[in-house]
Structure 1
Amino acid sequence: MADYLSVSALTKYIKYKFDQDPHLQSVLIKGELSNFKKHSSGHLYFNVKDQNSVINAMMFKGVAAKLDFTPKEGDQVLLEARVSVYERRGNYQIYVNKMHMDGVGNLYQKLEALKKKLSEAGYFDERHKQEIPKYPKKIAVLTASTGAAIRDIYSTINNRYPLAEQVQISTLVQGEQAKQDIIEKIQYAQSLDVDTIIIGRGGGSIEDLWNFNEEEVVKAIFNCPKPIISAVGHETDFTLSDFVADIRAATPTQAAVIATPDQYELHQQLRQVKLFLTRNIKQHVQQQRKYLEHTASYYKFKTPSLLYDQQIQKRDDLEKQLKLNMQLTLQNNKQQLSLLKGQFNLKTFKQNIVTHRNQTLQKQQELTKIIHAQLHNKKTTLASKLDNLNTLSPTNTMLRGYTIVNKDEQVITSTQDLKENDNIELTMKDGIVEAQVKKVRCKDE
């Protein structure tokens, strides 16, 4: 057993080797700050990384106070540091003595550019935010199946609102495959008809959380019809998923608090409502009881016959008046009927019919005579006019040897309308003669 070293002894030996190595006493390092935190003591704790490696680093308060800039996540820096071993955790780290800016870190620069692009496109606008259901029936939790986040969310929901069904969907939250897995799990959660979706994971460096800054993940959260709570990282960690989600929680535990009501508060509210209803029901019952007692003391209710004896007498009076009115109406109708019968005599009616018939026949005979006389007069007048027409008819005139002269389809009545060589037509009783004028002689020549 004496040949075996304790962990502490081995760690102390390795630390001694690091501290004695002159090449590790002052090294110049270039890299990007990540997971940057300032302790309440004033010391700075952070990582320095490049594309392939990450080193833990710290800077003591006295040295940090001499910096000419405020370090932040994503800064590209130039460091002068000492390499040593932190015995408690057994890992090596650097103690920074000097730090200078060396431009903006690539990841941070990429994050800011994407944030600006999505913000201008409206992905972070408040008008797109959905309300978180107050009393959810089913909550989907998208996070790693192992780790503190899933345990915190599970226990918080059970303690606050055990009525909600939890659907835990194991999701990759780090690594190359995580981006596509997050998108697929969001789409899967939509198909489960859940009320709320929680997407969460523990804290980490900017590269650890980078999958939640991917544009495709942001758009998947934006297009999700279900309200989403983002609980990525710690309170100081921010990702683009936080900005596009319907609400951002500082921690997974806070996400569970936002997603559910507190059963103890609900019990208290129910007790208050019960007290309020009980008090109001008692007051209402008391008011109705007083009203009932007041109504029951009314003198007519003490002597019930007063409620109907007047009505019975009134009904009898109305019945009597109704019978009287019916008798009067019937009597008047009988009198009118008698008068009509007196006016309507069948014998006189037949005599009137015979008289009117004779008068009609007489008028008919007179009308027939007048019509015949009128027809005779019209025929005589027509015959006289026909004789006059025959006398004046051109045809009869031509039968007596006269001729009608036409030129250009116009009747010629004067020699003034003709000249030599005019073509004319002579219409006679039995035909037409076409001729040409040789000479025109007027009566005054």
Structure 2
Amino acid sequence: MTEYLSVSAITKYIKYKFDQDPHLQSVLIKGELSNFKQHSSGHLYFNVKDKNSVIQAMMFKGNASKLDFSPKEGDEVLIEARISVYERRGNYQIYVNKMHIDGVGNLYQKLEQLKKKLTKEGYFDQNIKKTIPQFPKKIAILTAGTGAAIRDIHSTINSRYPLVEQIQINTLVQGEQAKDNIVENIKQADQLDVDTIIIGRGGGSIEDLWNFNEEAVVQAIYQCRTPIISAVGHETDFTLSDFVADVRAATPTQAAVIATPDQYEIRQYLQQTQLTLTRFIKQFVIKQRKQLEHLSSYYKFKTPSLLYDQQIQRRDDLEKQIKLNMELKLKNHKQQLQLLNNRINLKDFQHFINREQRSLQQQHVSLTKVMTQNIDHLKNQLARKLENLNNLSPTNTMLRGYTIVNKGNQVVTSAHDLNQDDNIVLTMKDGSVDAQVKKVRCNDDE
């Protein structure tokens, strides 16, 4: 039995072989992410697959924190990893050190990031979209000078609405210089006083259509004052130019349809409108003729004087009534004026004024007398108070030979407040004396 190996032993041996192989310590792998999960610890667990095979993989938290994108199911990635064996399950797996989005995936990531940024800045808001004119006079077409797109647009417009003037501006739609050329041509078309601008090209890969995802192109469309229809790629292709344009067309042909009315539909509409107007006018004329016949049969129209005879008489009656009312009002006002004149006696009014003036003079004399007495009384009170205040003044006391004794900032009022050798200040009427106490004698010490 000793020649049989345990499962753990053989697994450890296989792991040892993997770990010792220098070719497995750093391998570069390209594949698609599947079964992607992020553990609460921060470690990433996923599979890397292609059409024929699947490898289990994991990425530690420290390496995952350095990723320059957010991995998700279906991402095409480029991986740098080492290969080893997970002993517990006995299967091999890769431990990812570095991971980057692959090629087209990078473009899609860049597209999504730019889309989020421009959405936040309001470039795609529906409330700022301009209306496409229903009956344009001039349309500017920005696309390649040759190719199916320009042919489809021209043929569609010519068949639908040949009255419109088509201004073709040859535009680079692919390549390194295409972005600047598209921006320049949009600005040029915006200055041509056209009603609508169509920007279009045929389908292609995301790389082929990338110029219509450039931020400069999006800004140029956003700032354009002329309504723009975007027709970039096929029905399933979407670019940022489609989102910022006023209208998105699935194909260049559909853009031409959106930009123009159908002449056959217009003719049918005009014919239908003509029939409707003709029928309405006939009905209106018949109705008005019947109304006229009805009115012309009215008896007053047969004798026109009946229309105004009574009105003339009515006017005369009103004129007479107005005259009587005015005379009556004038008479009443004269009577009221006479009554007022009778009530007002100018002589009595003058006596009243003289009497009130005499009363006012008497009140003035009385008020002056009272005020004079009050002032004299207040002056006497003030004199008495000043005399009392003067009698209590320390200055007057010193004038009679008295002295004020200060110890520090306090006035000394008792011999008990002094001690031998205390420094004191004697204030007299004409100055002060600094002195020192030689001896203190209190009356209660005897």
- TM-score norm. by structure 1 comes to 0.52
1:215 counterpart (210, 218, 243): 210
Distance 1:261 1:293 in 2: 46
Instruction: Give the direction of change, closer, same or farther, for the CA distance of 1:421–1:334 in structure 2 (3 Å limit).
Output: farther
Distance 1:181 1:390 in 2: 110
Q: What is the count of residue pairs matched by the alignment?
A: 320
1:163 deviates by 0.8
Instruction: Give the direction of change, closer, same or farther, for the CA distance of 1:127–1:325 in structure 2 (3 Å limit).
Output: closer
Instruction: Give the direction of change, closer, same or farther, for the CA distance of 1:275–1:378 in structure 2 (3 Å limit).
Output: closer
1:154 deviates by 5.0
Report if aligned partners of 1:111, 1:213 keep a CA contact under 8 Å in 2. Answer: no
Distance 2:258 2:407 in 1: 117
Instruction: Give the direction of change, closer, same or farther, for the CA distance of 1:151–1:351 in structure 2 (3 Å limit).
Output: closer
Instruction: Give the direction of change, closer, same or farther, for the CA distance of 1:350–1:263 in structure 2 (3 Å limit).
Output: closer
1:271 deviates by 0.7
Distance 1:380 1:121 in 2: 99
Instruction: Please give the per-residue CA displacement for 1:52-90, whole angstroms capped at 9, x wherever unaligned.
Output: xxxxxxxxxxxxxxxxxxxxxxxxxxxxxxxxxxxxxxx
2:286 match: secondary structure: helix
Distance 1:344 1:149 in 2: 106
Report 1:17-416 matches (<5 A).
118=111, 122=115, 134-139=134-139, 140=141, 142-143=143-144, 157-168=157-168, 180=177, 184=181, 187-188=184-185, 191-192=188-189, 193=192, 194=194, 195-197=196-198, 199=200, 213-216=208-211, 219=214, 224=221, 226-229=228-231, 246-249=248-251, 260-294=260-294, 308=308, 311-312=311-312, 314-380=314-380, 382-416=382-416
1:344 deviates by 3.9
Instruction: Please give the per-residue CA displacement for 1:365-390, whole angstroms capped at 9, x wherever unaligned.
Output: 45555555555555555555555555
Counterpart in 2 of 1:440? Answer: 441
Letter in structure 2 aligned against 1:273: T
Letter in structure 1 aligned against 2:277: L
Distance 1:136 1:149 in 2: 20
Report if aligned partners of 1:179, 1:212 keep a CA contact under 8 Å in 2. Answer: no
Aligned: 1:421 with 2:418: no
Report if aligned partners of 2:179, 2:211 keep a CA contact under 8 Å in 1. Answer: no
Instruction: Give the direction of change, closer, same or farther, for the CA distance of 1:183–1:239 in structure 2 (3 Å limit).
Output: farther
Unaligned runs of 5+ in 1: 1-108
Letter in structure 2 aligned against 1:278: T
Distance 1:254 1:361 in 2: 107
Report if aligned partners of 1:218, 1:240 keep a CA contact under 8 Å in 2. Answer: no
Instruction: Give the direction of change, closer, same or farther, for the CA distance of 1:239–1:324 in structure 2 (3 Å limit).
Output: closer
Alpha-carbon RMSD across the aligned residues, in angstroms, is 5.1
Letter in structure 1 aligned against 2:443: C
Report if aligned partners of 1:160, 1:262 keep a CA contact under 8 Å in 2. Answer: yes
Instruction: Give the direction of change, closer, same or farther, for the CA distance of 1:399–1:324 in structure 2 (3 Å limit).
Output: same
Report if aligned partners of 2:179, 2:217 keep a CA contact under 8 Å in 1. Answer: no
2:269 match: secondary structure: helix
